[in-house]
A and B are shown apart, each in its own frame.
Chain A
Amino acid sequence: MASSGVHRTSLIAGLLFVVLGVLFLLDALDAINLKGAYVWPVALIVVGLAVLWGGLTASRRRGGEP
């Protein structure tokens, strides 16, 4: 998963954690109101996108059609 010296998984996970951390911090400080009704569907979407991304990149590595 490394390309041009950057490990893509670590990069994406790092970006995701920073964004989520900022959102949770704003929620803890009452600047925004994160509701469970939004958190879990978004989490499911993110997990789904990660699975799709993993499947596509694995397929490309093998040289097959996605």
Chain B
Amino acid sequence: MSDELPPEGESETPPAETSEPEAEPKGTAILETGPPIPPPVPPPSRAHKLPLTRLMLGALFVAGGALWLLGALDVVDVSVTAALSVALIVVGLALLAGSFTGRHTGMITIGIVLTAGLALASTFDIRLEGGIGQRNERPASVAELKSEYKLGVGQLTIDLTGIIFAPGTTTHIKARVGIGQLTVHVPANGYVFADATAGLGEVLLFGRQSSGFDVELSTPVLNGIRPGVSGRLILELSVGLGQVTVDGQ
């Protein structure tokens, strides 16, 4: 951390010779020419240079903890990637302001770490929003359905087998898990369109399987073709890192 204040300097100057040299014996003239005494070193400057790295790190921890707490209390729903992006902007602005006071290696390191994390999250489309843990959703009717389900990290299971989709209707559901597993059970005779993606992982769609980087599977044909019997269900499912499974039960 180069912006920390240097330790207090030990810059005591050697005591000046104040005593008079002893009188030389008469008849002898000795001229002593010793090495010149170096000028006293001034103490290191105690200018008001703030430890920007420590202040920034502390502020980021406090803000991150506060957002996490508010999210846990369901006061706000904060996307971790958005919060980290804002943190990177703040670090950049602080560096711009601090560039007038010298090098700030620590803050540059923080910025690099944030950038690397965000680049990875962007690469695998990891959206860390919606909390952490295991969640089971089992809506009993169309009215209880949400248009979007989100989980940051963990396992999300959506069981739609108890719902009767009225003929002639179209229901659109989005579900996203940042890191973990997303499982959707649909009625066996459902009229289902599904599009499932995984940034890195596996997609299992009605028995079809694909895995690797940037995986996508969709159902171009109807699952259990009975358009006259059931309403249409459109599923948009994604996982950043993990597995998506859709099956009919």
Interface residues of A (CB under 8 A from B): 1-2, 5-11, 13-22, 24-25, 27-29, 34-36, 39-40, 43
Contact = CB atoms under 8 A, between A and B. Distances in A.
A17 B118 CA distance: 11
Given A10-B98, A10-B103, A17-B115, A40 B123 contact: yes
A40 to B, nearest CB: 7
A28 B127 contact: yes
B119 to A, nearest CB: 5
A14 B103 contact: no
B93 A14 contact: yes
A29 B78 CA distance: 11
B85 A10 contact: no
Contacts of A36: 122-124, 199, 214
Contact of B92 (A2, A7, A9, A15): A15
Interface in B116-131: 118-119, 122-124, 127
B95 interface: yes
B132 interface: no
A1 to B, nearest CB: 7
Q: Give the interface centre of B85, B90, B101, B123 by most chain A CB atoms within 10 Å.
A: B85
Contact of B89 (A9, A10, A21): A21
A9 B103 contact: yes
A51 to B, nearest CB: 14
B89 A7 contact: no
B166 interface: no
Contacts of A15: 92, 96
Contacts of A29: 82
A63 B68 CA distance: 52
B104 interface: yes
Contact of B95 (A5, A13, A20, A22): A13
Contacts of B100: 5-7
Nearest to B104: A10
A21 B92 contact: yes
A8 B94 CA distance: 14
Given A9-B108, A25-B85, A34 B122 contact: yes
A10 B108 contact: yes
Contacts of B107: 10
Contacts of A7: 98-104
Given A7-B99, A25-B82, A18 B108 contact: no
A24 B118 contact: yes
A55 B94 CA distance: 26
Contacts of A34: 122
Given A10-B108, A16-B92, A39-B119, A24 B85 contact: yes
